[in-house]
Amino acid sequence: MPFLLLIEDDDAIRTGLELGLSRQGHRVVAAATGEDGLKLLKEQRPDLIVLDVMLPGIDGFEVCRRIRRTDQLPIILLTARSDDIDVVVGLESGADDYVIKPVQPRVLDARIRAVLRRGERDSTDSAAFGSIVIDRSAMTVTKDGQDLQLTPTELRLLLELSRRPGQALSRQQLLRLVWEHDYLGDSRLVDACVQRLRAKIEDVPSSPTLIRTVRGVGYRLDTPQ
Amino acid sequence: MPFLLLIEDDDAIRTGLELGLSRQGHRVVAAATGEDGLKLLKEQRPDLIVLDVMLPGIDGFEVCRRIRRTDQLPIILLTARSDDIDVVVGLESGADDYVIKPVQPRVLDARIRAVLRRGERDSTDSAAFGSIVIDRSAMTVTKDGQDLQLTPTELRLLLELSRRPGQALSRQQLLRLVWEHDYLGDSRLVDACVQRLRAKIEDVPSSPTLIRTVRGVGYRLDTPQ
DNA sequence: GCCGAGTGTCACAGAGCCGTCACAGAGGAA
DNA sequence: TTCCTCTGTGACGGCTCTGTGACACTCGGC
């Protein structure tokens, strides 16, 4: 399920899109200002951002640029038809697509899926971490050339970690990305899965070099040198 | 020199692309409607088709599907940014790539060359997987030289898998590609067809080496060794 | 060293996924 | 019509996976 961050100051439009996009099968969090949006971005790590151009405070273009300084995640700009804006400025600030308001949720949904699809295709199909090679299209993982038998959950976990190498992900974030739920009580769910994954991909599972524990936070996938 | 068929109803865009692509070193024939395009396709046998989605009469998706019924030649879809379409549908109707208008001839050229390169590698008229040989123009499959009697559905399934060797395809994707519908409840439709196909092409159907199960995802056609 | 919070580990039972099968309806040929 | 093949369905069983909770362990602060 795609996980979206919607940044839009107009209450009516924001609520409408939030509802509409949820019905189209997305999980949506929303912010009314650029500042709030950037904050939510860091906390929640969405898959894609839908970003209004005309915002109080820092505007959409600026938000876009700031995101692009550190992040490659896809951005769709929302612009009012009456805005006499230069599409080039928008695209140069790093947006992936443009949608003109008013927009039907299902239209926006189609654009979102298109952009996500493009992203999937553009992202390299394989990644390497030490002796581990992940082939995203074959959905296989090999260690020193040998095929590893990962279970679906282990694979999803590794894929999500590998999409953000070197970045610490909290248990909460992993839960959302891999299990698509929101609430982790104090179960050892994530830890247990990490343990099983380590058992398969680490040379010495008890002192892992790939999936590192970040105490007080969660886990991080490193490329050992 | 790549030989292209361009199907696009807008005169200005068609002429512009025709000229631009010629300058990039392609030979181009153009048609303004799907019907004309299909006629030209038969007469001229181009290497690749650039196909607009929004066409008067039969639309691009339908043209794409009709071509795919008999032909494996590469197709690039052209879609207007404002088109209310789901690009995923386009790729699943059998296209190899898509490009969003407006597009610079040199960008389109790059995509064309990429698709053709990909094509050279794997869309020859026959393909071999272990002892299985698929002849796409004769629509026959042989195992150790012996003709196999595949049913139409089994054949389509094998063809779709073989167009993407080594790539895991979900049941959902296979359903769209082979059966052309959208909803898989929790029926065992895909599995049953895979089972029947395995019974014919695998040496030991109960431990398949060609059509591998990707647990939690779907299936993948491998070339053993 | 002691303590508490955070993390690693494990076994187990239930859930989920997949292979398999029989069957019935559709469709085509004679 | 009858016969035959093909195809989709749903039930079933087996096996794998996975979440849980208990317990052990580690780390860092005091």
- For the stretch B145-157, pLDDT in tens is 888 999 999 999 9
Q: How much is the pLDDT for A90?
A: 55
- Partners of A97 on chain B (C-beta within 8 Å) are 81
Is a pLDDT exceeding 80 seen at residue B182? no
> A169-170 and A218-221 as β-strands: parallel, antiparallel, unpaired?
antiparallel
- What's the whole-model pTM score? 0.62
Edge-to-edge strand ranges of the sheet holding A27-31:
A27-31, A3-7, A48-52, A75-80, A97-101
Is a pLDDT exceeding 50 seen at residue A84? no
Residue A198 to residue A193: CA distance in whole angstroms: 8
- Partners of A138 on chain B (C-beta within 8 Å) are 166-168, 220
SS3 at position B152: helix
Distance of C1' in D4 from CA in A158, Å: 50
Q: Please say whether the beta carbons of A37 and A45 come within 8 A.
A: no
Q: How much is the pLDDT for A15?
A: 93
CB-strand contact B215/D, under 7 Å: yes
Q: How much is the pLDDT for B123?
A: 47
- Which residues have CB under 8 Å from A98's CB, separation 6+? A76, A77, A79, A87, A90, A91, B81
Q: How much is the pLDDT for B124?
A: 58
Q: Distance, in angstroms, between A199 CA and closest chain B CA?
A: 19
Helix H or strand E encompassing B41: helix B34-44
Q: Going from the N-terminus, what domains does chain B have, and what CATH number goes with each?
A: 3-117 (3.40.50.2300), 126-221 (1.10.10.10)
Give chain B's radius of gyration (CA, Å). Answer: 19
Q: How much is the pLDDT for B127?
A: 82
User: A97-106, B79-88, B162-171, B178-187 — which is least confidently predicted?
Assistant: B79-88
Q: Please say whether the beta carbons of A74 and A49 come within 8 A.
A: yes
User: A129-133, B83-87, B151-155 — which is least confidently predicted?
Assistant: B83-87
Residue B100 to residue A72: CA distance in whole angstroms: 20
Please, which residues 130-189 of chain A have a Cβ atom closer than 8 Å to chain B?
137-140, 151-153, 155-156
Compute the average pLDDT of residues A126-143. 88
Strand partners, B212: B220
CB-strand contact A132/D, under 7 Å: no
**Could you tell me if B217 lies within 8 Å of chain A, comparing CB atoms?**
yes
| pLDDT tens figures, B99-136 | 777 676 766 887 787 677 665 544 456 788 988 999 88
pLDDT band of B86, cuts 50, 70, 90: very low
Q: Please say whether the beta carbons of A138 and B167 come within 8 A.
A: yes
CB-strand contact B213/D, under 7 Å: no
Residue A43: both structure tokens together: 């906390």
Q: In whole numbers, what is the pLDDT of chain A averaged over residues?
A: 83
pLDDT band of A25, cuts 50, 70, 90: confident
Q: How much is the pLDDT for B4?
A: 92
Residue B76 to residue B51: CA distance in whole angstroms: 6
User: A53-67, A87-101, B48-62 — which is least confidently predicted?
Assistant: A87-101
Is a pLDDT exceeding 60 seen at residue A123? no
Nucleotide nearest A155 (Cα, C1'): D17
H runs (alpha helix) in A93-142: 105-122
Q: Please say whether the beta carbons of B48 and B2 come within 8 A.
A: yes
- Which residues have CB under 8 Å from B194's CB, separation 6+? B157, B211, B219
Give chain A's radius of gyration (CA, Å). Answer: 19
Is a pLDDT exceeding 60 seen at residue A44? yes
Q: How much is the pLDDT for B43?
A: 85
- Would you give the DSSP letter of residue A110? H
Is a pLDDT exceeding 70 seen at residue B36? yes
Residue B108 to residue B118: CA distance in whole angstroms: 15
- Partners of A114 on chain B (C-beta within 8 Å) are 86-88
Q: In whole numbers, what is the pLDDT of chain B averaged over residues?
A: 83
Is a pLDDT exceeding 70 seen at residue A93? no
CB-strand contact A154/D, under 7 Å: yes
**Could you tell me if B216 lies within 8 Å of chain A, comparing CB atoms?**
yes
Asked if the Cβ–Cβ distance from B167 to A107 is below 8 Å, we say: no
In which residue are the tokens 């979900």 written? B170
Please, which residues 50-109 of chain A have a Cβ atom closer than 8 Å to chain B?
97-98, 104, 107
Residue A74 to residue A94: CA distance in whole angstroms: 9
- Partners of A118 on chain B (C-beta within 8 Å) are 87
Compute the average pLDDT of residues A167-190. 84
The one-letter amino acid at B103: V
B13 exposure class (CB count in 10 Å sphere: 0-12, 13-18, 19+): middle
Is a pLDDT exceeding 60 seen at residue A32? yes
Compute the average pLDDT of residues A154-180. 89
Distance of C1' in D15 from CA in B88, Å: 35
Q: How much is the pLDDT for B84?
A: 42
Q: How much is the pLDDT for A125?
A: 63
In which residue are the tokens 């993948």 written? B220
Q: How much is the pLDDT for B180?
A: 78
Helix H or strand E encompassing A168: none
Asked if the Cβ–Cβ distance from B166 to A110 is below 8 Å, we say: no
> A140-143 and A146-148 as β-strands: parallel, antiparallel, unpaired?
antiparallel
Residue A132 to residue A145: CA distance in whole angstroms: 8
